[in-house]
A and B are shown apart, each in its own frame.
Chain A
Amino acid sequence: MSNMLLEVNHVGHVYQTPQCEKEALKDVSFQIEEGEFVSLVGPSGCGKSTLLTIIAGLERPTHGEVRLDGKPVTAPTAEIGYMPQKDHLFSWRNIRSNITLGLEIQKKGPEYYRKAEEMMEKYGLRDVGSMMPDQLSGGMRQRCSLIRTLVTGPRFLLLDEAFSALDYQTRVAVSVDIHTIIRKENKTVLLVTHDISESLMLSDRVIVLSHSPGTVKRIHDLSVLKDTAPMERLDHEAYGSMIKDIWKELDIHG
C-alpha cells in the first residue's frame, strides 16, 4: 500500500490503424500524491493527450495500468474530473445549467445544486448565471468550465492544455486564477501544457516526456519554489535555470 492518489505503472500504448502501428507511449511510470499539482510537458505528438485519455479511463492502455487510490482505472469515474482545452460550454444552455450539467447527468441531489450556487457566488459567477455562454469573456468561460468539472466533486483533475485557447495575457491571468481555485478546493491536478513557464508557475513537479514513443525523460521537483506564489516565481533565482533545463530536454535534437 502507498499513500499515492494516482499511480501510473509501466503504461505503454500502441495505436493500431489499418495503415500502420504507432507506438505512442512506452513504459511510462510516475505517481502523484494527494494534493499535488503536477504538470506534464513534452513536444507535440509525444503522447500527452493519449496519456490523459488513458488516465481518464476513456481508453485502455495496451500495456501497464493506472490506479487511483489503489484501484485500477478502467472506465470514466466520478473521482476523476476532466477539463478540456476549449471550454466547450453548451451554447444552448445558460451558465448555471452548463455548470450543473454533470449534476444532471449523475442525478445528484439538491445539496450539490446548493454547492454549485455557492461556488458560483464564491468565484464571481453569481450575476452571470442566467446569461448565455457567448455573452462571457474567455476567462470567465474557462472558470465556468472548471466549476462544471469541480462541482461533481472529483478528487483528481485532468487539464488538457486547459488554457492554450486563450491569448497570452489572458492565459497567464486565467491560469493563476484557476490555480487559486484549485488550491482552495484542495484538488490534485495533472496539467498538460506546451508552455514551460506555465508549468513552472503553477506546479509542484514537472514531468518531461520525450518524443516518439513518449517516455518519462525527467521529473523536476519544484520544492524550491514551493512557498512562492505563481507570479512571483517568475522573479525567483531558480526559475531561469529551470526553464533552460526543461527547454534543453524538450529540444528536438536531444
Chain B
Amino acid sequence: MDKYRKTGKKDLRSEYLHSLKTARVRIHVLRIALLILLITLWEVLTAHDILNPFIFSSPSRILATLNDLSVSGELWRHIGTSVLETVIGFLSGTILGIIIAIILWWIPTVSNVLDPYLVVLNALPKTALGPIFIVCMGTGIGAIIVMTLAISLIVTILNVLNGFIHTDVEKVKLMKMLGANRLQIFRKLIMPSNLSTIVNVLKINIGLSWVGVITGEFLVSKAGLGYLIVYGSQVFKMDLVMSSVVVLAVCAIIMHICIVLLEKATRKRFGIA
C-alpha cells in the first residue's frame, strides 16, 4: 500500500514535469512552423504574382540581394556603421543619463529646479530636433549619435531618478542610524536596490537607440541600414529595402538578447528578485 502510494506520487510529479516539457516543446515547434508558413506563403504568393514582387519583394529575392551585398562587402559596412552608432548612442545615453540622475538625486535643489524642464523635454518628440542637430553637427555620424542620445537620455534620467527617490525611506533611516553618510547611503542602498530599475532602463534604451539611429540615418547619412532603406525606396529597389529591414531585425534581436543575458547575470550576482 505504502509503496504504491510512493510510486503513485512520484509518477504524478514526473508526469507533471513531463507535461510541462512537452507543452514547451510544442509551443516552440508551433512558433517555428508559423515562421516557415509565413515565409513560404510570402514566397508562393509573390512567385504567382498574387502579391506584387516588385513591391513586396520575396524571401528568395532577399536572400539573393543579401548574398550580393555581402560578397561585395557592402552589407558588412552598413551593418557595422549602424551597430556602431547604436552602441555608442546606447552607452552614452544610458551612462550619461544615470550620471545626471545621480547628480539630481544628490542635490535636490537642482532636481527641483530642473523638474519642469525634464517634463517638457520628455513630452517633446525628439525627432523634431533632428534638423537642429544636423545644422549643429553636420551630416555625419555625430548628428546621428546626438539624435540617439536625445531620444534615450531624458527617459533614462526620469526613470532612474524616480527609482532613486522612491527607495524605502525606512531603509534610508536605518542607514542613517548606522552612521552612513550620503555616499555610503548611495553605494550600499540606493544603487543596489535600484539595479532592476537600471536593467529595465537598459532594455528600453536599446530599442530607443535603434529608433534614434534609423531616424538619424533617414535624415542624413551615407551609410548604415537606415540609409540603405531610404536609398532603396528612392530608387524603388524594394528588395534592398526588405533585406535591410530583415538585417535590422536580426541586429536588434541580438542586442536585446545580450541585454537579457546581462540581466540574468546581474540578478544572479546581486540576488534581486
Contact = CB atoms under 8 A, between A and B. Distances in A.
Contacts of B170: 84-86, 88
Given A91-B271, A132-B271, A58 B178 contact: no
Interface stretch (A36-44, A102-110, A204-212, A231-239): A102-110
Given A84-B173, A88-B170, A90-B192, A102 B273 contact: no
Given A84-B170, A88-B168, A105 B177 contact: no
A104 to B, nearest CB: 7
Contacts of B179: 76, 78, 102, 105-106, 152
B184 A105 contact: yes
B171 interface: yes
Interface string A88-105: 101110000000011011
B127 interface: no
Nearest to B177: A82
B180 interface: yes
B273 to A, nearest CB: 7
A82 B175 CA distance: 10
A68 interface: no
B165 interface: no
Contacts of A132: 271
A53 B169 CA distance: 13
B184 A92 contact: no
The 8 closest A-B pairs by CB, nearest first: A82-B177, A102-B178, A92-B270, A105-B180, A92-B192, A105-B178, A106-B179, A92-B271
Interface string A54-93: 0010100000000000000000101011101110101110
Contact of B273 (A84, A86, A91, A104): A91
Given A91-B272, A104-B188, A105-B184, A152 B174 contact: no
Interface residues of B, number: 21
A157 to B, nearest CB: 11
A76 B177 contact: yes
Interface residues of A, number: 24
B176 A90 contact: no
B220 interface: no
Given A92-B270, A92-B271, A105-B179, 8 more contacts: A76-B177, A84-B174, A85-B170, A90-B171, A90-B188, A92-B272, A102-B179, A152-B178
Interface of A: 53, 56, 58, 76, 78, 80-82, 84-86, 88, 90-92, 101-102, 104-106, 132, 134, 148, 152
Contacts of A58: 173, 176-177
B177 A101 contact: no
16 contacts: A53-B173, A58-B173, A76-B176, A80-B177, A82-B177, A88-B171, A88-B174, A90-B193, A91-B272, A92-B192, A92-B193, A101-B188, A102-B178, A102-B179, A105-B175, A148-B178
Interface of B: 168, 170-171, 173-180, 184, 188-189, 192-193, 195, 270-273
Nearest to A104: B188
Contacts of B184: 105
Contacts of B272: 91-92
A106 B168 CA distance: 22
B260 to A, nearest CB: 20
A56 B179 CA distance: 11
Contacts of B270: 92
A102 B171 CA distance: 13
Contact of B189 (A84, A90, A106, A152): A90
Contacts of B188: 90, 101, 104-105
A56 B178 CA distance: 11
A148 B271 CA distance: 20
A58 B178 CA distance: 12
Nearest to A103: B178
